[in-house]
Amino acid sequence: MQRSIHVWVGSAVSLLVIGAALAQTKPTPDEITEAWNSSPHANSEAEAFRHWDAEGEIPGECAVCHSTTGILDYLASSPASAGVIDHPEPIGTTVECAACHNPGAESLRDVIFPSGQVVNMSDGSAICTVCHQGRTSAETVGAALGGLADDQVSAGITFINIHYAAAAATQLGGVARGGYEYVGQSYAGAFGHVQDFGTCVSCHGAHQTKVVLESCTGCHSGVTDFRAIRTTPLDILGTGDASAGIAVVIDELRARLSAAIMTYATEVGGGAIVYSDAAYPYFFNDLNANGAVDEGEAAFPNRYQSWTPRLLRAAYNYQFASKDPGAFAHNPHYTVQLLIDSLSDLAKVSSVDVTGLARP
C-alpha cells in the first residue's frame, strides 16, 4: 500500500533566492551543452548505458533510469510503482535533455519510493528523485526475512542490493526508509540542510552535476575539502575528539561494520565472508579466510550464500552507506544511525566491540 507524505526540502524563500540567482547568471545554450557533455549523464561509454549491448534492449525494471525513452514512457504512464515500466526499451540513449525537459517531468510532484511511500517533492527535485532513490527499502529486506530466526542460515536468503547513487533515499532518511531500520529505534527524517541549499540543484550543477566547494565555505569557512565538514558536535566514535569531518566518522563506522560482518560470519554464520565494491553481488566466500579479496574470489559462482537474517540486515546497511558516496552530506545522521544499529545488532551474538559509540 502506498503512503503519502509531503516533504518540503527547501523553503519558498530559498527557491525565490535560487531563482533570482539563476536569472542573473543564466547560461547560454552552448554552456549548457558543454556542462551536460562533461557529466555522467552524457557518458555513452559508461556501464550504466552499455550494460545491455549484447541483449539489444534494456529491461523495463532498468530502462526508466538508463535510457531517455524509458523515463519518458514512465512519466507518461501515470506511474503506480517506483521506477519500473512493463516493457523493454532500445539501447543507444543516455540521460539526454528530453529526459528532464518534458511536460511530465516539469509537472511531476509526487514520487513513489520502493518502500511504497509517496513523497511530494514540490521543490523541483522530483525528476532527480525518480532515479536517485535506490531500488529496495527496509520493507524489501523485512519481507525477504519474514519468519526466519535471526541467526538461522538459510539458502532462501540472497543479498539485497540498494543499487547505486541512491541520494534521495539517503536524504529523506526515515521518510523513504531506504536503509534497513531496526525495530524499536527511531530514525532521522529528511535532512533539510540550510536555507538556499535544500534542493538537488542548489548543490549540484543542474547539467554538470558537480558540487562546487565554494558554495559551502560561506558557512564552513576555511574548509578545503567537503569531507572536513562536521555536522554535529556529538563525539560519535567516543574518542574524545569531535573535530574530524562527518565523512571521516562515517568511513570509520563503515570500516568497523565491515570487520564486524566478517567476525559474525565466521563465529555465528555459515563461513568466512569478504566484500568487493566492484563485483556483483559484492559479498563472496573468503576461501582462505584472510579478510581480503584474492584473485578468483570476486566471481558470481563464489558468491556468499550462507546468509542469516542478522547478517543480511547488516550487509544491506553497509551497502546502503557505501553506494552513496555523498551520504555524509545527504543525511549524515541517518547514515550514522544505520551503521551503529547494524554494529550493535551484530554485537549481540558475536565479539564486536561497540564501546563508546554514541548514536545521534
Residue 336 CA to residue 275 CA, distance in Å, equals 20
Residue from 255, 259, 303 nearest 280 by CA:
303
pTM above 0.85, yes or no: yes
- Residue by residue, pLDDT tens for the chain (360 residues) are 444 454 544 333 233 333 334 444 788 999 999 999 999 999 999 999 999 999 999 999 999 999 999 999 999 998 888 999 999 999 999 999 999 999 999 999 999 999 999 999 888 899 999 999 999 999 999 999 988 999 999 999 999 999 999 999 999 999 999 999 999 999 999 998 877 787 898 889 899 999 888 888 878 888 888 899 998 999 999 999 999 999 999 999 999 999 999 999 999 999 999 999 999 999 999 999 999 999 999 999 999 999 999 999 999 999 999 999 999 999 999 999 999 999 999 999 999 999 999 999
Q: Contact 326/200 with Cβ under 8 angstroms?
A: no
Amino acid 224 reads T
Tell how many helices (H) and how many strands (E) occur in the chain.
15, 7
Residue 55 CA to residue 66 CA, distance in Å, equals 14
Helix extents (H) in the chain: 12-24, 29-37, 47-50, 60-66, 68-75, 97-100, 103-107, 126-131, 138-145, 167-172, 200-203, 246-267, 309-322, 327-330, 332-347
